[in-house]
A and B are shown apart, each in its own frame.
Chain A
Amino acid sequence: MPRASGKGYRQRPLRRYGFIIAVAGILALLLLQTSPRINEGVAPIRTAASDQLFHATRPSLIDQLSGASAKDRRILELEARVRELAQYKALALTMAERLEVYEEILNMQGEPGGAEVTARIMAETNGPFAEALLANAGTTNGVQDGYYAENDRGLVGRVVQVGQRSSRILKITDFNSRVPVMGEASGLRAIMFGGRDGLGRLTDFPEQGAFLPNERILTSGEGGLFPRGVVVGYVRESDNKDVRVDLAMLTGQLSYVRLKPTIRVLPPEAFPSETELAELSEDDES
Chain B
Amino acid sequence: MMGLSGFADGMVLRWEAARPRTRLAIGVLLVIAVGMVGLTPRSLFGLPLAWPYLGLIAAVGWGRSGMAFGPMALLLLFGFAQDASQAPWGSHGLANLLTYGLSAAVSQMADTERSPLLSFVLPVVTLFFGITLVWLVASISSGHFGRVTPMLTAYFATLVVHMVIAPLFDLGIRRGVQGGSTA
What distance in Å separates the Cβ of A30 from its nearest Cβ neighbour in chain B?
5
Dominant secondary structure of chain A at its interface with chain B: helix
What distance in Å separates the Cβ of B57 from its nearest Cβ neighbour in chain A?
18
Do A26 and B67 touch across chains, with their CB atoms under 8 A apart? no
> In this assembly, does B44 line the interface, its C-beta being within 8 Å of a C-beta of chain A?
yes
Tell me which residues across on chain A come within 8 A of B84, comparing CB atoms.
46, 49-50, 53-54
- Stretch with Cβ within 8 A of A (4 or more), from B1-9, B121-129, B151-159, B171-179: B171-179
Tell me the complex Cα distance, A22–B68, Å.
Answer: 12
Tell me the complex Cα distance, A61–B179, Å.
Answer: 47
Tell me the complex Cα distance, A50–B79, Å.
Answer: 15
Tell me the complex Cα distance, A61–B37, Å.
Answer: 7
Of the four ranges (under 10, 10 to 19, 20 to 34, 35 or more), the interface on chain B belongs to: 35 or more
By a beta-carbon cutoff of 8 Å, the part of chain B in contact with chain A is 16, 20, 37, 39-44, 65-69, 72, 76, 79, 84-86, 88-91, 93-94, 97-98, 100-101, 113, 137, 141, 170, 172-180
By a beta-carbon cutoff of 8 Å, the part of chain A in contact with chain B is 1-9, 12, 15-16, 18-19, 22-23, 26-27, 29-30, 33, 42, 46, 49-50, 53-54, 56, 58-63
What distance in Å separates the Cβ of A228 from its nearest Cβ neighbour in chain B?
52
Tell me which residues across on chain B come within 8 A of A33, comparing CB atoms.
88-90, 141
The 7 closest A-B pairs by CB, nearest first: A8-B175, A4-B179, A15-B67, A49-B84, A29-B90, A60-B40, A2-B174
**In the complex, which of the residues A8, A16, A59 contacts B41, with contact meaning CB atoms closer than 8 Å?**
A59
Residue of chain B at shortest CB distance from A39: B88
What distance in Å separates the Cβ of B100 from its nearest Cβ neighbour in chain A?
8
Residue of chain A at shortest CB distance from B182: A4
Most buried by B among A18, A30, A56: A30
Tell me which residues across on chain B come within 8 A of A1, comparing CB atoms.
16, 172
